[in-house]
Amino acid sequence: MHVAAETLLPVDTSLAVALVVLLLVAAAVTAGFRLSPDGSSARAREIVTAGLRAVVQLAAVSALIGWAVHHTPALVGFLLLMLAVAARTAGRRITGNGTWWWAVLPLAAPVVPIVAGLVAAGLLTVPGIAVVPVSGILIGGAMTATALAGRRTLDELDLRHGEVEAGLALGLPERDARLAVARAAASDALLPALDQTRTVGLVTLPGAFVGMLLGGASPLTAGAVQVFVLIALLAVEAIAVALTLELAARGRLHRRPAPDPDGQRIPKSA
């Protein structure tokens, strides 16, 4: 199976060249079509930076993970680091201010109980290697859903602020008025997970399935594990979206600029 993995994607100079070319293509297209919120080349620079960070971070993780999976404190610490980075990434995508830390809740609330339940049921072992990719998949799904739900919710609340005011004028509590306006937009964050689950095996063969096949598992076992991953992602992302919507409706996640020490509002650009 080691030979099979190398045959699928050999790690050599050709791979390095392909990575550089693909990264440059992504950046060039993004810059050429000005695929940034302000029409600049900022998003293209983000793509290059993200690609370089991925190389460095995966190299570091590859060196660390072999040791961490054999030591429970190190493994737990690594998982908490994953969760913290995901929360900061999603939260800053949503708010751009100090309220980003609330994104910890929609990530941790679904992921921690599910991973703990899998460990308690004996499906994952601690210490052990399997807990890292499973947790990473769930945290990554929650991060994406949280960021998408938060951005769509706050965008909708900004765009339809008049409707929120109308709801308040009719006597609705502020939370209920916000939910009525933003719920449909937030639900769009579930579409990637839904589409991936609906089309699995027909359009895509996800990483868990392919990885297990290369590791020597039977197609039936690989398929069963992949179905579990997809359904677990649906549960995690549904909870993440619901909690993100609730936090935005209650004003915990917002884009209002923070006050300075003198009580004046500091613009977002400050």
pLDDT at 232: 94
Q: Which pLDDT band, with edges at 50, 70 and 90, does 260 fall under?
A: low
pLDDT at 1: 44
pLDDT tens digit sequence for 15-28? 889 999 999 999 99
Q: Is the pLDDT of residue 45 over 90?
A: yes
Predicted pLDDT of residue 3: 46
pLDDT value at 123 more than 90: no
* pLDDT value, residue 266: 47
The answer to whether 65 and 78 are in contact (CB under 8 A) is yes
For residue 53, give the nearest of 85, 99, 13, 94 by alpha carbon. Answer: 85
Percentage with pLDDT > 70 across the chain? 91
Give the side-chain half-sphere CA count within 13 A for 69.
15
Query: Mean per-residue pLDDT for 111-119?
Result: 93
> Which whole-number Å values give the CA distances from 131 to 47, 68, 103, 106, 197, in the listed order?
29, 11, 22, 20, 22
Q: Encode pLDDT of 144-178 as tens digits.
A: 999 999 999 999 999 999 999 999 999 999 999 99
Beta bridge partners of 200: 204
Place of tokens 């995901």: 86
Contact by Cβ (8 Å): 224, 128: no
Residue 198 is encoded by which pair of tokens? 């609906």
User: Which comes out higher in pLDDT, residue 237 or 60?
Assistant: 237
Of the chain, the percentage scoring pLDDT greater than 90 comes to 60
Average pLDDT over residues 39-45: 88
Structure tokens at 200: 């699995």
| CA dist 189 → 142, 146, 163, 210, 236 (Å) | 10, 8, 22, 26, 12
Domain boundaries, given as residue ranges, for the chain: 1-68, 69-249
Cβ–Cβ contacts within 10 Å for residue 158, how many? 10
User: What is the rounded average pLDDT for all residues in the chain?
Assistant: 87
pLDDT band at 262 (very low <50, low <70, confident <90, very high): low
Listed residue (255, 207, 253, 263) closest to 230, CA to CA: 207
139 near 107, Cβ under 8 Å? yes
Flag whether pLDDT at 264 surpasses 60. no
The pLDDT score that the predictor gives to residue 12 is: 82
User: Both tokens of residue 51?
Assistant: 């690609």
**Widest pairwise Cα distance in the chain:** 68
The CA distance from 85 to 145, in Å, is 15
- What pLDDT does residue 85 have? 95
Q: Distance between CA 4 and CA 216 in Å, rounded? A: 10
Comparing 71-75, 138-142, 243-247, which segment has the lowest mean pLDDT? 71-75
Q: pTM, whole model, 2 decimals?
A: 0.83
Instruction: Give the tokens for residue 179.
Output: 């939910």
Gyration radius of the chain over CA positions: 21
Which residue, chain included where needed, has tokens 């060039």? Answer: 28
More confident site: 246 or 71? 246
